[in-house]
Amino acid sequence: MSDTGNGFWEAWRLILSLDPDLYEIVFLSLQVTVSAVIIASVIGLPMGAWLAVNRFRFRRYVIAVLNALMGLPPVVVGLFVYMMLSRAGPLGGFGLLFSPSAMIIAQVIIITPLIASISHQTIRDLWAEYHDLLISMNATRAQRMKALLWDGKRALLTATLAGFGRAIGEVGAIMIVGGNIEHITRVLTTAIALETGKGNFAFAMGLGLILITLAVIVNLLIHIIGKTERASTW
């Protein structure tokens, strides 16, 4: 398909010519998704650990609901957030609609269940291993969670990465709440949708290849920075 070939060269042309519009879109994409991933991790990782370590009456139901929330269709989340943030809606007074903040909010709602669920599964396995030891050492609940989160950090990184992957490729929700406004809320995915809608397939493909590369680079960076690649029992 010639469009694929054109897309490849178009991608290189855009990158090498240091096209400012392109880099603005890339920067905005990263800003929105990284912010969302950080917030979702701060909420989701300890939530998963807490669920793994504490026994309470409705625990099974909470876990089932959490896993079900992973299946939330992103575009429905977008619609919900839109109706909340619209001036005619309950949170309209903050004027957040059609801003990067609205996109971050939508993405946080979408990926927090995913991060919490993976965190829960990981920590549950680690807790099964550490259980006798930590109880024997008389560790408090908070101390147990801290030890599990720290020792499990490599697998928790996977949770964060999964969240990043889900968020960076998301388009439906952020299109609705962001409005795809040029320079303000236009990110890689919404730009691809736009260019495709204008019939500019080569340009859209170029953006697509950049998006893929971006996701792969961030993935690699996290692994290297984490310095957690060891030949260990993992």
Residue 55 has which token pair? 């026994």
Closest separation in Å from C-beta 87 to other proteins: 4
Residue 32 has which token pair? 């929105």
CB 167 within 8 A of CB 115: no
Q: Which residues contact 48 (CB under 8 A, 6 or more apart)?
A: 115, 116, 117, 118, 119, 120, 121, 122, 123, 159
Closest of 164, 148, 144, 219 to residue 41, by C-alpha? 164
Stretch of residues binding other proteins (CB under 8 A), selected from 4-12, 92-100, 157-165, 212-220: 92-100
Stretch of residues binding other proteins (CB under 8 A), selected from 45-53, 112-120, 177-185, 216-224: 177-185
Residue 128 contacts other proteins per CB under 8 A: no
Which residue, 166 or 186, is less far from other proteins as judged by CB? Answer: 186
Residue 18 contacts other proteins per CB under 8 A: no
Among 40, 84, 130, 188, contact with other proteins (rule: CB under 8 A): 130
Determine the Cα–Cα distance for residues 156 and 65; give it in Å rounded to an integer. 20
Residue 232 contacts other proteins per CB under 8 A: yes
Q: Which residues contact 17 (CB under 8 A, 6 or more apart)?
A: none
Closest separation in Å from C-beta 77 to other proteins: 18
Site size toward other proteins (CB under 8 A) is 48
Determine the Cα–Cα distance for residues 119 and 46; give it in Å rounded to an integer. 8
Residue 100 contacts other proteins per CB under 8 A: yes
Binding site for other proteins (CB under 8 A): 20, 24, 27-28, 31, 35, 86-89, 92, 95, 97-101, 104, 129-130, 132-133, 135-139, 143, 147, 151-152, 179-184, 196-201, 230-234
